[in-house]
Every structure is written in structure tokens, then in C-alpha cells.
Amino acid sequence: MEFTEIYCINCRKVLGIYNIRFYKEDKINELMKSSHALHVREGHHIVTRKFEKTSL
């Protein structure tokens, strides 16, 4: 399964992990503007990273 992770570089913390199947790129951008706006206003650098998780 593929996931997109929203990561704050300043806090060194994952703010959210979203499944690509349900959350497309535009929906993740909306989430960053609304849910994670506090980090952006405080001047933090937020990046999105894509990764694939394999089951054991």
C-alpha cells in the first residue's frame, strides 16, 4: 500500500499519514492548509513524502 506522510522538519515529527487510495494529492494539500496551518503560520517547514508499506 502506498502512503503520503506529512512531516514537519522543525519539530522532526510526523503530522499525518494518509493512504493514497483515499487521499489524492489535492485532498492532502487541502489538509495541509486547514489541519496543519498552525505549523505553517509559526514558520515551520512542512514536506510531503511518499512511501510504500509492505506487509510482513
* Domain-wise residue ranges, the chain: 2-52
Q: Considering only CA atoms, give the Rg of the chain.
A: 12
Q: What is the pLDDT of residue 31?
A: 86
Residue-wise pLDDT for 3-27, tens only, equals: 999 999 999 999 999 999 999 999 9
Closest CA to 1 of 17, 12, 15, 25: 17
Where residue 36 falls among pLDDT bands split at 50, 70, 90?
confident
User: What is the mean predicted confidence (pLDDT) over 22-51?
Assistant: 89
Alpha-carbon dihedral sign for residues 29, 44, 1, 51: positive
Residue written as cell 502512503? 3
- For the entire predicted model, the pTM comes to 0.79
Q: What is the pLDDT of residue 50?
A: 93
